[in-house]
Amino acid sequence: MSNRSSRAKPVASVPEVVILRLPQYVRVLNQLQQKGTEVVSSQQLGNLLQVTPAQIRKDLSYFGRFGKQGRGYSVSHLLTELKQILGLDRRWNVALVGVGRLGRAIISYPGFAPEGFDIVAAFDSSPKIVGQVVGNLFIQPVEEMAETVRNKKVSIGIIAVPAAHAQEVMDMMVQAGIRAILNYAPTTPQTPPGVKVRNLDPVHALQSMTYYLIDGA
């Protein structure tokens, strides 16, 4: 009923599309804050995000009442609330499986840590790769996954193995208790309920655009 503590849990379940938009709001609010903007209206946010103002207000209304009539939203307050809602006010430990060319690129990608995501373990199935050190990480055999996930409090997995092995890696991760998975393999593994997967497959992305190019070319 009250939302004063900003711990308010959504009463009804929030549509996933809404959750997918919130990180974008966070990103734009961050930019506004850096520019020194203190207050923003749903109208202005909508312009920046190419979204209708009504949608922004509706999205936010799932979680509480963050604005002031006649004025708009306090940038810093809304940012704080959204980060807390999304769990972006803390750090998350991540485990990577597959330390080939792609896996190495992911380990050295400098964009994760500043956003609160720390790759704290990396696994491979090849004896040639296990034992190597990449970045600061000692590459472990996949057999150690469950134990390491427990010890290092890993909550998120990244799959960077060839498509043919993605499903078994998924299963191992789920078995180890991981419930959020970022999948770089060009395949869509079967996912048990309660586990979230995001696929980052560039080929699939391309294949879903060419349809719109036919005729034009």
x/- letters, 140..159, toward its own copies (CB under 8 A): -------------x-xx---
Other beta carbons within 10 Å of 153? 10
CB 171 within 8 A of CB 146: no
58 binds, among DNA, its own copies, none (CB under 5 to 8 A by kind): DNA
Decide if residue 175 touches its own copies (CB under 8 A).
no
Q: How many residues bind DNA (CB under 7 A)?
A: 25
For residues 159 and 181, what is the distance between their CA atoms, to the nearest angstrom? 7
Q: Residue 71 carries which DSSP code?
A: T
Binding-site size for its own copies (CB under 8 A) equals 54
**By CB under 8 A, residue 210 contacts its own copies:** yes
> Per-residue x/- mask for DNA, residues 128 to 167, rule CB under 7 A?
----------------------------------------
CA angle at 130 for the pair 124 and 109, rounded to the nearest 5°: 60
CA distance 141 to 171: 16
Q: Is residue 23 a contact point for DNA (CB under 7 A)?
A: no
The correct pick among 28, 48, 51, 102 for binding DNA (CB under 7 A) is 51
Cβ pair 155, 178 in contact under 8 A: yes
Residue 49 burial (10 A CB sphere; 0-12, 13-18, 19+): middle
Name 149's Cβ contacts closer than 8 Å, sequence gap at least 6: 95, 121, 176, 177, 178
Q: Which residues lie near its own copies (CB under 8 A)?
A: 19-20, 22-24, 26-27, 49-50, 85-88, 92, 94, 101-102, 105-106, 108-109, 111-112, 115, 117, 153, 155-156, 179-180, 182, 186-188, 190-191, 196, 198, 200, 202-214, 216-217
- Give the interface with DNA as residue ranges (CB under 7 A): 15-18, 41-43, 51-55, 57-58, 60-61, 65-73
